[in-house]
Amino acid sequence: MKLVTFSFNGLTRVGALVDQQVVDLNAAYTALLADKGEASPVLVAQAMVPSEMLTFLERGEAALAEAKKAMDYALGSPGSGLNGERLIYAVDEVKLKAPIPRPGKLVCVGLNYVDHCEETGMDIPKSPVIFSKYANAVVGPDDAILLPPNSDQVDYEAELAFVIGKKAKQVSESEAMAYIAGYTIINDVSARDIQLGDGQWVRGKSPDSFAPMGPVLVTKDEIEDPHQLDIKLHLNGETMQDSNTKNLIFNIPYILSYLSQSMTFEPGDVIATGTPPGVGMSREPQVFLKDGDEVIVEVEKIGKLRNVVKGNQ
């Protein structure tokens, strides 16, 4: 299932993207329960298939199973919701937001492709290089990447990210995949002059809008092997990054196990796995983002994350 967070008429909801349609899962499940004669369909639906993404993920596999029933019901029925509300929208009628609009933790892995290490002149790490971005940096598909006034070296980084589905503390590599809800795309936008000038990465990685995410959260049952996905970035139609997640130095089970020895992860936390070669800072001549640029990150089986760049105002 391709889960989305979407807004329509000022309300933000959890949906499922099917072809070019978005199913409102909570509304569809409410209608399904009402059809079955449930006495309190609204209360039961909110408990079983919540309308907010973090709460939905907290409900785990049970919520996902019921959401699939709701999706099938909506797609198979021309009807409306309990109070006449719509169950299905055309994707261009709604605003897709980041699947996890405000993650509790957004943890990133740096230098996780061998050829990216080589292009930056850095040694291949013996253990994962870890840094954080903050919720203020998260924006959704088609939102603007805002160039901050204190940087003129803003770079792009295509990344596969995974989303935590249940509380994870001190998990082993062999059990790590059981804690993952699914996968999404992140553009780890980076102000290189700040990042490298500071000597540590957080300030250069976390300006507002520097973590575009989406457009969907693909549940893990839809991706057989997350380590066999093509990953690309296109800048104004030109392919700048082109690799495959099979080239990760540290794979997803290792990353989660490694991190969970130190910190507890909660449903909705997001971990980005690093970027392949082709970043703008390592090109000759260097390429940095400018006002009006269009950036598209594409990951196989997940989709395309498009954003535009907006200059200093």
* Identity of the amino acid at 115: D
How many angstroms separate the CA atoms of 265 and 287, rounded? 36
pLDDT score for 177: 98
Here the contacts of 281-286 (C-beta below 8 Å, separation 24 or greater) are 281/120, 281/153, 281/155, 281/192, 282/119, 282/120, 286/153
- Which residues, in sequence order, are CB contacts of 154 under 8 Å at separation 6+? 145, 147, 148, 189, 190, 191, 192, 288, 289, 309
pLDDT score for 117: 80
pLDDT score for 287: 98
Q: Over the Cα atoms of the chain, what is R_g? A: 20
pLDDT score for 121: 81
pLDDT score for 99: 98
pTM score, two decimals? Answer: 0.96
Can you list the domains of the chain with their CATH numbers?
Answer: 2-96 (2.30.30.230), 100-310 (3.90.850.10)
* Identity of the amino acid at 251: N
Q: Can you give the pLDDT of all 313 residues of the chain as single tens digits?
A: 999 999 999 999 999 999 999 999 999 999 999 999 999 999 999 999 999 999 999 999 999 999 999 999 999 987 788 888 899 999 999 999 999 999 999 999 998 988 788 888 878 889 999 999 999 999 999 999 999 999 999 999 999 999 999 999 999 999 999 999 999 999 999 999 999 999 889 999 999 999 999 999 999 999 999 999 999 999 999 999 999 999 999 999 999 999 999 999 999 999 999 999 999 999 999 999 999 999 999 999 999 999 999 997 5
How many angstroms separate the CA atoms of 277 and 158, rounded? 9
Tell the burial category of 84 from Cβ atoms under 10 Å away from its Cβ (0-12, 13-18, 19+).
exposed
pLDDT score for 313: 53
